[in-house]
Chains A and B, each alone.
Chain A
Amino acid sequence: MNKLQYISNLIIPLFLLFVVIYGFIKKVKVYDSFIAGAKEGPGVVIKIFPYLLAIFVGIKGFQASGAFDFLKEALAPLCYFLNIPIEVISISIIKPLSGGASTAVFTDIVKTTGPDSIATRISAVIMGSAETTFYVLAIYLGSVGIKKTKYLVPVCVISDIIGIVLAVVIVKLLF
C-alpha cells in the first residue's frame, strides 16, 4: 500500500518536470506560456462562484434546519426492513452533496461502529464509488454557463441511487 501511495505521490512532481522539459525541448517560452494560461484562472472562478454559493447555501441550510435528520429518520424503517445498517443512510445522503462533510460522517461511522464493521465497509464502498454529484454539476455547468441541462440531473440522481444499492449488495456478498 505504501508503495502505491508513493507512486501516486510521484505523479505530480514527475508531471511538472515533464511539462517544463518538454516545453524547453520544443522551444516554448515556458514561463510566458504558464502565465498566459494561469491568467484565465480568475475568470473561470468568478464564473463558478455564484453556482457554488447557491449550492452551499442550499445544502448547509438543509443540514442545519433539521430536515436532514428528519430524512434520515424517515428512511430508518426501510433500512431495518432490508437489514442494512442505519449509518448507510447518512453517508448515502451526504456523499452526493459534500466531500468534506462525507469524510467527517465516514470517520464518525468508523469510530462508532468499529473499523471492520459491516456499516463501515458499506460506507467505505459508497465513499469510494460515489462522487459529490451536485458539486461537480454546479462547477462544470457553471464554468461554461450552461442553463438547459436536458435529462442530466435525473440520470445522475438515478445513477447515484443505483450506486448505493450496488455498494450494499457487493459488501453483503463479499464479506
Chain B
Amino acid sequence: MNIIFILLITISVVFAIANNRVEEFTTAVFDSTKLAVEISLMLLAVISLWLGLIKILEDSGIIHNLSKIFRPVIKRLFKNIPDDHPAITSITLNFLANLFGIGNAATPLGIKAMQDLQTLNEDKETITFEMMLFIVINTSSIQLVPFTVIGILSGLGSKNPTAIVLPIILATVISSVIAITNLFVFRKFLGKGK
C-alpha cells in the first residue's frame, strides 16, 4: 500500500503540472476529503445499525446455532477457524449479503468478520491467510443479481436488460474461483508455513 500511495500521488502531481491542471488537482484533493467524510458518516450509520442487530443475534444465541449449520461449508475453505467461533457466522452473513446484493449490509458484516478473524490472529499487525481469503472472495464479487446494472440498462431503453444476468453470473463465479486459486498459488510459492 505504501508504494501504491507514493506512486499515485507522485504521478498525479507530475501530470497535474504537465497538463496545466494544478488548480483542478488541488480542488479534487480537497473535494476528496469531503467525500471521505460523507462516506464515513454513511458508514457510521449502517455499521452501527448492523452491529446493533448482530449484537441482538449474539445475545439470543443464534450465532452459535447458525455457525453449526454453516460450519461444514465455511470450514472447507477457512481451515483455521475453531468450530464454535463467531467468525463462521459473520463470514456467512457477509457472503449472503453479497449474494443478494444487499450492498450496505455487506460492508458492516465484512468488518465484523474481519474483527472476529482478528481475535484468532497472534500477530495483530500481520494479516492471516483466513483474512486474505475472506478479502479475496469479497473483492472478486459474488453478487448473483446485479440490480444496479439492470436498472441502468432498462432505464436507458435496453430491449432485453436481463440478458446480461447469465454472463455476469458466469463471469463472477469463474473470476471468484480464479481469484481464490490465485491466492492458494501465491501461498504455495511465497507463504512459508502459514
Q: Interface on A for B, CB 8 Å cutoff?
A: 1, 4-5, 8, 11-12, 15-16, 19-20, 22-23, 25-26, 28-30, 33-42, 44-45, 48-49, 52-54, 56-67, 70, 103, 106-107, 110-111, 115-116, 120-121, 124-125, 127-131, 133, 136-137, 139-141, 143-156, 158-160, 162-163, 166-167, 170-171, 174-175
Contact = CB atoms under 8 A, between A and B. Distances in A.
A75 to B, nearest CB: 15
20 contacts: A12-B105, A23-B60, A26-B59, A26-B62, A33-B55, A45-B43, A65-B24, A67-B12, A128-B146, A129-B140, A129-B171, A140-B138, A146-B126, A146-B127, A149-B132, A150-B191, A151-B187, A155-B132, A155-B186, A156-B179
Given A145-B125, A159-B175, A151 B21 contact: no
A1 B162 contact: yes
Given A152-B135, A163-B178, 14 more contacts: A28-B60, A38-B48, A40-B48, A41-B48, A44-B111, A57-B29, A61-B28, A62-B11, A129-B140, A129-B141, A144-B118, A155-B182, A159-B140, A163-B175
A167 B171 contact: yes
B16 interface: yes
Interface string B17-59: 0110100110111011101100110011001110111111111
A37 B52 contact: yes
Contacts of A163: 140, 171, 175, 178-179
A107 B156 contact: yes
B43 A65 contact: no
Contacts of A39: 48
B56 A61 contact: no
Most buried by B among A48, A54, A128: A128
Contacts of B55: 33-34, 36-38
Nearest to B173: A129
B81 interface: no
Contact of B174 (A22, A52, A137, A166): A166
Contact of A45 (B1, B44, B148, B170): B44
B153 interface: yes
A140 B110 contact: yes
A112 to B, nearest CB: 11
B13 A65 contact: yes
Contact of A106 (B16, B107, B139, B149): B149
Contacts of B19: 65-66
Q: Sorted from nearest, which 8 A-B pairs have the closest CB atoms?
A: A37-B55, A41-B48, A64-B28, A38-B52, A115-B158, A128-B168, A159-B179, A60-B32
